[in-house]
Amino acid sequence: MAAEYTARPMTLVDIGANLTHPSFRDDLEDVIRRAQGAGVETILVTGTTVEESRRAADLAAAHPETLRATAGVHPHHARECDAATIPALRALAALPRVVALGECGLDFNRNYSPHPDQEKWFTAQIELACELQIPLFLHSRDAHPRFAEVLRAHRARLPRAVAHCFTGERAELRACLDLDLYIGITGWICDERRGRHLLELVREIPRERLLIETDSPYLTPRDLHPQPRARRNEPAFLPHILRAVARALGRPAEEVGEDTARNARELFSLS
């Protein structure tokens, strides 16, 4: 039976925005206001180091109506982790507006940290999330199939989790869905050079697993005209990504938007 959708204004959730990035320092209030004006109800501020995660949590506390935060260490920064890292993340995870652990994962594209460091601290963060039963915000780039193998080893206790900024091929998507992961789609899908495969793959994501995100200030949709100043991406562009996803699915944007927002609320227990 078809679900019924009403024509009220969209209330979207941007599940990944790096609002602690210096490019937002001078006009964050305007950025948040524009997002609200565009129908983005909630924005998850991504934590990428302990320090950035603290700042993300501070931002969420300062904007409780719109912002939530994640706390974690990105694989790029795995080499900077030490004995204080997990206790610090544990403390951050206890804060009311921190809704997930991450981003964490594997990145074999840039290799800013050695692979053994990446795996060690990815595993440590998974274990913490298993213990706390807090959702995971996952990053994987050119790391298939190792990424899924590491997760599979924790399958029995794995909390709900999202493969954020999914850019992989079919085999990687299948592996993520087999792990029951949610899938985050960014403006990568708007990139006619490297995102074309996503136009087809996105059809294979179950409706109840699809999420959308900007990954601001990165990954500005290439087909956005005019391009923003300094090509900075921001949460107000989420509807543009939504429309690209909806076109690929052959479904109304309002419907897809409602699905993704409902999925985000469920995954992160957003009130």
Least Cβ distance, residue 139 to Zn ion (angstroms) = 4
The mark string for 86-125 relative to Zn ion (x by CB under 5 A, - otherwise) is ----------------------------------------
Determine the Cα–Cα distance for residues 173 and 169; give it in Å rounded to an integer. Answer: 6
Least Cβ distance, residue 164 to Zn ion (angstroms) = 6
Residue placing its CB nearer to Zn ion in the complex, 35 or 106: 106
Among 121, 27, 133, CA closest to 80: 121
Residue placing its CB nearer to Zn ion in the complex, 121 or 258: 121
Least Cβ distance, residue 250 to Zn ion (angstroms) = 28
Does the footprint of Zn ion cover residue 77 (CB under 5 A)?
no
125 Cβ partners below 8 Å, 6+ apart? 72, 73, 86, 89, 101, 102, 104, 136
Least Cβ distance, residue 109 to Zn ion (angstroms) = 11
Q: 24 in helix, strand or coil?
A: helix
Q: Scan residues 141-180 and list those touching Zn ion (CB under 5 A).
A: 165
Out of 21, 68, 76, 139, the only residue in the binding site for Zn ion (CB under 5 A) is: 139
Return the CA Rg of the chain.
17
Residue placing its CB nearer to Zn ion in the complex, 17 or 249: 17
Q: Interface with Zn ion by CB under 5 A: which range of 90-98, 118-126, 135-143, 256-264?
A: 135-143
Residue placing its CB nearer to Zn ion in the complex, 51 or 255: 51
What are residue 138's phi and psi, to 5 degrees?
-105, 145
Distance of CA 204 to the CA centre of its chain: 19
DSSP per-residue letters across 90-138: HHHHTSTTEEEEEEEEEETTT-SS-HHHHHHHHHHHHHHHHHHT--EEE
Residue placing its CB nearer to Zn ion in the complex, 148 or 165: 165
Tell me which residue has its CB nearest to Zn ion.
139
105 within 8 A of 147, measured Cβ to Cβ: yes
Angle between helices 115-132 and 85-93 (to 10 degrees): 40
Residue placing its CB nearer to Zn ion in the complex, 47 or 257: 47
What are residue 241's phi and psi, to 5 degrees?
-65, -40
* Size of interface with Zn ion, in residues (CB under 5 A): 2
For the four alpha carbons of 236, 238, 239 and 243, in that order, the dihedral sign comes to: positive
Least Cβ distance, residue 215 to Zn ion (angstroms) = 7
Residue placing its CB nearer to Zn ion in the complex, 167 or 246: 167
Terminal alpha carbon distance of the chain = 27
Q: Scan residues 2-41 and list those touching Zn ion (CB under 5 A).
A: none
Least Cβ distance, residue 108 to Zn ion (angstroms) = 13
Q: List interacting residues with Zn ion (CB under 5 A).
A: 139, 165
